Structure 1
């Protein structure tokens, strides 16, 4: 019979022999729980049902066979006619091909000799009653008599009879008539307790347990044979030590395998994480060159949608050239040259320099440093290859830029030597002339003039060098103020007018209709414009055209210098503002100079928050240089409203009375003049005491307070003004050299309404004053 593995033991199939033996039909039985088949003597009473239930459950749980001996009322059946009968019921697991338990096979064998055990009253000779049964089974079997203490607890048991397999199963010899404690003095207590419970209750027991003193494990069925002899218990048992040890070994092996798998999985995860974060492209190939694995960086280098590679031949569609500056530099890689191919041949493949073209759209060119190594098995056979590729495109570009910079430096030193020798030659000649003709006044006068001019020229060269050094190192002290670039342009033109007139250039100037206001250092911005004009004049042939335009556009003041001179190639245009690039503009040295003027222009413009760029249509087609500086629109309105009022318009700032408190008289006066140009009334105080006196009699609308005053600091003064009823609503503006966030928080906490950091941003200040004046207007 086949039974399901569930707790109901559903009948899945019945053999013909079973149907005949128990006079049941297969069809009505299939699909019914074994325990509901009341017509079967096997399950005719609760004790047999429980014994079967325990045996089947043990097989399902352990996956090992089990056996139980049952005695029950049987009834009339075709194959068996005895009034009573005993059965040997074997349960065995049935597994599928994958090793999964699918059902339990039940085999029932009628044991007449076993039945006679239960009916010893009819057969007086016990040896004859049991001989057949004992010889048929290889399981140990014995009948014991339980011995109890006076309090009813189990004390020991005596062996009444044992079968031939008993000795092999237990290792105990001559057991009949002796107690267990005589044979094994330290036998575990739980054995006595279990058998004592069977004797007392008559309930059979089926279990597996260890007999430590016998160094064995047993599968045991214990049951009471005759209610009239309650202290006698029959025990059918099997030595499962080897089976259990095998199970333990298997479980340990499984645990070890699971632990090893977990360790391998953890190592794989760590390797995966490492491969994904390293800035190196890594690809692993099999022995045929097919990609088995690649990391994220490799996909980025070659393109996310690069072709799948199944053999080395597929590399024919991958594009790479040698970039090692050898005789093969620039040649496409042959199939055998690829790092993977060489590693698979067991060759050294370290440090290949390749220029690749990715499969991106559009393709991207990169320079890679490629290295590879073979992967070998335990026998040393090559089974694959791993290749690492590092993107060194930026490093190669930087090295090339360094080479270009070094070349420019060498050219500059050559130019510097030439430029310094030029004035030295006439100076030396003039000195010789004075030495030869010391009394020839006209010659001495002329020679002195030559020396003076050339010395001035040398001083100008040296000053240019020092100037660019100071600017590039950030050592220039700027004096920022609001100024009109229209006027600055006029001053720059005056400086370069001699060279323009000497070369007979046609020059035109176009200024903006209104003031082109910026915040900057007037001297340095005039220097910027002069350098651009000198550059245009030098590189424009005699009689050329130079246009200079100042215009306001998109929030910037644009200064544009255009000429129709020698022009520039795109490469020269790209490096026009770099140091020492003058030599690239012209093959000869007829223009002179050190090539640092435009570099100085860029540094100064950048320091003013602006930008500069150059453009040329090509050699011989002239050049255009454009400087962009932030336009001060608000400052323009404030400074020029008083000078150029419109009809019916009154200044929104004209009503403000402002007190400037600063112990630096020059700084206070300069700020006051700017504020006055916007139509405001200004008074000054050099310390807190004077400020309080002025406030008392004058009642200003705004107080600009320097925080670092000599007697009382600006924070304390602000608090005093806030605490006075007559000045509580005065707008207080802190002017300080401290610009950290906590400094602003401290000023606002002290009572200031606004916080400005020196040097003062006049555009922002006028914006604040406009907001204050608007309500008054």
Structure 2
């Protein structure tokens, strides 16, 4: 072999050797970093190898690597090399489908599952290790004792309920403010005609025209006993109210020479079982409209009288 060729081969071999040493150094560095991370991390970490039958179907898996935190989170020993059917035979069908899907698809998944043998709830993140032909997945997880999980779930439920109650109270407050500032008179009563609510407009209307204001809790017929013009009109509506009917009607209240007209809208109040518990009533003072309409009719009637021809001299 010519000296030049031999020298060239030596240089190539030395370059290749240096590259391999650099790769080996990187591999040792990664291995050391992985060991340190796996040893000191709070999460459990393990590598599972899935086992196939002669038809290529996954039927079991075994642990080939596990850090110390695995036992702390699962409260169950991890025997490397033993299969799941040997260590947790009654639970394999709950766990295997998750790991098998990741090994097949390469898509990482997160899920929560109970390890019944130690009553621990595990929150897991599963990732496929390459190459795919190794049929191995990396699992990172944390565990919570069953009783603590129940407490956590109860606290989360209480928090959610508190938030819902808070939103409901805010909505109720907003609705109450809207009703209270409505231009309509608004009343709510139970089935015994006891006043449950009255808005500000209705209070001001009663004070302006009657000089008194009904209070929440008062029995409406007793309060109106000295208001015969009102109670005589309401008595006509009470059968419809007791029947749970929704309706719109008009009523005229007061002396003939000083009547006020109201458009009344009534709807029943129902509970969660659709049983009637009472009702609410909106009434709008339509007196100005009624007076204007009457004036227009009077004017129209006069105009017709003036326009009608006289036939007295024709016969």
TM-score (norm 1): 0.21
More contact order relative to length (CA 8 Å, sep ≥ 6): 2
TM-score (norm 2): 0.45
If you compute each CA radius of gyration, which structure gives the higher value, 1 or 2? 1
